[in-house]
Amino acid sequence: MPVITVTGLIGSGVIEVGPRLSDKLGIDHVDRTVLAEAARKIGVTEQDVAERTERPPGLGDRVAGFVKNVLERSALAGGGADPYFGGGVDALLVREYRDFPEESHGSGALDDENLLKVTSAVIHEIAASGNVVIAGRGSNVLLRDVPNTLHVALIASFDARVKRIAERERLLTEEAEKYVQENDRARLAYFKRFFDIDPQDVAHYHQSLNTDLLTIDQATDIIIASSRALD
């Protein structure tokens, strides 16, 4: 089964499609939430987790191991960076686009180039074994040259996205509009800053699906069919 990356503007359905793909295909799903869980587990070995909980290590435990291994073998995380994720690695991996700092600075912080190198290494570690859906994080760009990797973009109208966000976040319409606009601007700035691309350019994806015209389940089924054809 190939690796699948799914990305899109906030409210376009990425949060809903990722878990459905994971469930239907029986593969892992890595998003900002999983990466945040991994961040909390840096420094805890899989053996420690298994002994403490009497269960096999979960996805968050394994991703934590990937991140820890990348940081330990990379001189890029030196210079006083916190091993919890390094001085700034959490920003690319965990934070929402709207919460991303405008520049890397401060004691122990990685500069943009090195920050991107460490993040790329983490994403490649996650994708290396296959059988995973990766949501956002620039994964379609970072993995663009990796064979058997399907890159999917989800799109939707502004009004549809505002409606989804208002329902999901329990916001008034005006609040949801502002939330969506802030995230849209921040996402464009993020991709320009780190990848020098427009994330809405269809050239960066195998397929682009409109969730105004497709239900979440229909979009999921189309992605599954495409992944099987690619595989």
Q: How high is the pLDDT of residue 45?
A: 43
Q: Per-residue pLDDT tens for 55-82?
A: 444 555 666 666 666 555 554 444 434 4
Provide the token pair at 87.
Answer: 């001085």
The SS3 of residue 208 is strand
Q: Please state, in angstroms and as integers, the Cα–Cα distance from residue 59 to each residue in 44, 93, 139, 142, 176, following that order.
A: 13, 15, 18, 21, 32
**Side-chain half-sphere CA neighbours of 46 within 13 A:** 14
**How many CB atoms are located within 10 Å of the residue 198 CB?**
12
Least confident of 2-6, 28-32, 62-66, 170-174: 62-66
- In the chain, the domains with their CATH numbers are 1-27+131-231 (3.40.50.300), 31-129 (no CATH)
Q: What is the pLDDT of residue 79?
A: 42
Are the beta carbons of 115 and 12 closer than 8 angstroms?
no
How many other C-beta atoms lie within 10 A of the C-beta of residue 230? 15
Query: Are residues 177 and 231 in contact, defined by beta-carbon separation less than 8 angstroms?
Result: no
Which pair of structure tokens corresponds to residue 169?
């976040």
Count Cβ atoms below 10 Å from residue 71 Cβ, excluding itself: 22
Chain length of the chain: 231
Whether the predicted pLDDT of 209 surpasses 80: yes
pLDDT, tens only, 87-135 = 455 555 556 666 666 655 443 445 677 667 777 887 888 888 788 999 8
Of residues 28, 27, 126, 112, the one with CA closest to residue 69: 126
Question: What pLDDT sits at residue 128?
Answer: 86
Question: Quick one: which H or E segment has residue 153?
Answer: strand 149-155
Q: How far is CA 100 from CA 28, 121, 156, 189, 207, in A?
A: 26, 20, 23, 10, 27
